[in-house]
Structure 1
Amino acid sequence: MDSFWKFPTMDADTLRLLKKNIDEGFRAFTRAYGDSIENVFNPLQSFLIWAERLLLATPWPVVIAAVAVIAWIASRSMKIVAGCVATLLVIGWFDMWDDTMKTVSMIFVCTVLAIVIGIPIGIGMARSNRLQSIVNPVLDVMQTMPSFVYLIPVVMLLGIGRVPGVIAVVIYAVPPMIRLANLGIRMVDKDVLEAADAFGSSSWQKLRNVQLPLALPTIMAGVNQTIMMALSMVVIASMIGVQGLGQPVLKAIANQYFTLGVFNGLAIVGIAIIFDRISQAYGSRLQKHREIVHG
């Protein structure tokens, strides 16, 4: 009777052989093409090193002033500007400035990559229902897969370092960018598109001059979500050599350093709040502008 209720499974030897063949096949692929794949990502490594050196070499008052200017342009709110400046001053006061700049540079690179990858795919999905039906299940898997799993193939292919960490973060963070780019373009009013057609706009002109500008508030929401997801991967990415605020948190977990973990964790939260407030405020301003134009 017990055997009746036991779930039927693959033979243990067959399952072991299947796993062994897959693992050996992936290792063989890594040995054969690992160096070539690594060379492909050399420009990404150069971009990441440049961004990190730029932020670390720039005097802290200049960085804070630049963030204040960006916050003001995006929000037109002195409250948000003051909050951003105060957060950065506290981070610097607690001697976490260099780690914070390393984290910000990584998030910047990841966000740029996510935008470059996500918007074209989102445009393609908006134009093709067939492509959308193919890509959506892939995005579902990417968003539900445990974040640790992304580290395994990336480390096997590229080893431990900043570039594998950035790739893992981008894979984890890009789905919202793709989804919201697709949604924003699909939500553009059909009457506006018909008016563009009546003026003889080509498909490219319609995309550049009508669809993307009107979809920009939704795309900005995608940028916001991508940044938040990238920041949530900071500690996990530190396990494979990504420098920044994640490494002290990982050290605190390993050695039970309560204050080290809390302080650096709060610094990550502070950076997340800065990015969130600036991007949300800019998206809201774009939304209001669009409503005024349509009104």
Structure 2
Amino acid sequence: MTSQVILREAAVTEVGETTEQDERKQRKHAGGRKSFGMFLCIVPFIVLVFLFSYFPLYGWIYSLYDFKPALGLEGSEFVGLQWFEMLVSSPTQMAQIGQVLLNTLAISFLGIATSILPLVFAIFLNEVRVPWFRSAVQTLTTLPNFISWVLVYMIAFSLFSSTGLVNGILTDAGLITVPVKFLDTSENVWLTMTLWSIWKGLGWGAIIYLAAISGIDQSLYESADIDGAGRFQKMWYITVPQLMPTYLVLLLLSVANLLNNGMEQYYVFQNAFNKEYIQVLDLYVYNIGMTGNNLSMATAIGMLKSIISVILLFTVNAIAKRVRGQSIV
């Protein structure tokens, strides 16, 4: 009788283990099907990234040819590293590239120095207690981000050209007799372009900080209220520290993109008077390739810029991992 009970218990145990193993296999199979389904959802985005980010790298081959559009790549002469050698062998070319790099780095560092402004703006905007007024300010400051740089230049030209509104007001008021050249000058170009970028991107840049503020644990503010903290004390001791991780990540990404200033804003604002100081690296590549009709040289410079940017990204990522304990990419 005892042996029958033992055998029955053993059979029940074996059946239970088999059932558990079957359930584990079913969960694993279901998890695999779910993961595969999620993978299929991101396949279109992977394809887009490949088409627009990796496939164009094939164009680097143009830096090895004396490319002539009329002849095509097959009809163009293979010159190897000639264009790279010209970049470092010509004193005139080196001096020009040096000025371009100075413009690029100066504007980039001014952008980094003013990157704290969206954070400050978001903090103070969050303290506005009237909902409709806060929404109106956020909408009005975000709207310029969706205005093209061509329209921005039209606004700037209407206001600050020699016949613009500002010069007209100053002339009518008797403050000046000769129109002030706000746009047709090489003075303060870096600062001027930085101010236009701030005006265009301040509200948009504050959105991510406003989202981070909404995620702060409200019990921290409630505890501060109990302790008698004022509004500015809560901002300084709670809001700012909670936003610093987000700010540091964005700051490090800005450092990694030192050479990427964009081209559109500088292209529409450039003229014969400010070209020397407004020409950043992206605009310089465009001018060489399209205006100067030297696509091979432009490709070589763009290739070096991409390589340096990748090196900066990995360097900043390593610094972030050492300082913060976790990487940003």
In the superposition, the TM-score normalised over structure 1's length comes to 0.53
Which of 183, 194, 197 aligns to 2:222? It is 194
Richer in helix (by share):
1
CA deviation vs aligned residue, 1:209-262 (integer Å, no higher than 9, x gap): 111111112233554677769935345414423133134223222122113322
Q: Percent sequence identity over matched residues?
A: 12
Higher CA-based Rg:
2
Which of 270, 274, 298 aligns to 1:261? It is 298
Shift of 1:186: 2.6
> Is the 8 Å Cα contact of residues 221 and 283 (structure 1) preserved in structure 2?
no
CA shift in 2, pair 1:201/1:219, >3 Å: same
> Is the 8 Å Cα contact of residues 213 and 239 (structure 2) preserved in structure 1?
yes
CA shift in 2, pair 1:110/1:146, >3 Å: same
Cross-structure match for 1:208: 236
Cross-structure match for 1:151: 153
Amino acid at match of 2:221: L
Q: Which runs of 5+ in 1 are unaligned?
A: 1-91, 289-295
CA shift in 2, pair 1:249/1:111, >3 Å: same
Correspondence list, 1:219-234, <5 A: 219-223=247-251, 231-234=260-263
Shift of 1:267: 4.9
1:119 equivalenced with 2:148 (yes/no): no
> Is the 8 Å Cα contact of residues 100 and 245 (structure 1) preserved in structure 2?
yes
Which of 206, 212, 223 aligns to 1:178? It is 206
In the superposition, the TM-score normalised over structure 2's length comes to 0.49
CA deviation vs aligned residue, 1:165-196 (integer Å, no higher than 9, x gap): 33333333434432122222232111122222
What is the alpha-carbon distance in structure 2 between the residues aligned to residue 103 and residue 265 of structure 1? 14
What is the alpha-carbon distance in structure 2 between the residues aligned to residue 159 and residue 247 of structure 1? 18
CA deviation vs aligned residue, 1:114-137 (integer Å, no higher than 9, x gap): 423x23321122223334311332
Cross-structure match for 2:287: 251
Amino acid at match of 2:135: S
Cross-structure match for 2:102: 101
Give the secondary structure class of the aligned counterpart of 2:260.
helix
CA shift in 2, pair 1:202/1:180, >3 Å: same
The worse-fitting range, judged by mean Cα deviation, of 188-197 and 259-268 is 259-268
Give the secondary structure class of the aligned counterpart of 1:182.
helix
Correspondence list, 1:278-289, <5 A: 278=316, 282=320
Correspondence list, 1:20-39, <5 A: none
CA shift in 2, pair 1:111/1:271, >3 Å: farther
RMSD: 3.7
What is the alpha-carbon distance in structure 1 between the residues aligned to residue 312 and residue 99 of structure 2? 18
Cross-structure match for 1:88: none
CA shift in 2, pair 1:194/1:206, >3 Å: same
Amino acid at match of 1:171: W
Shift of 1:285: 6.2
Give the secondary structure class of the aligned counterpart of 1:231.
coil
> Is the 8 Å Cα contact of residues 121 and 178 (structure 1) preserved in structure 2?
yes
Correspondence list, 1:82-101, <5 A: 95=94, 96-101=97-102
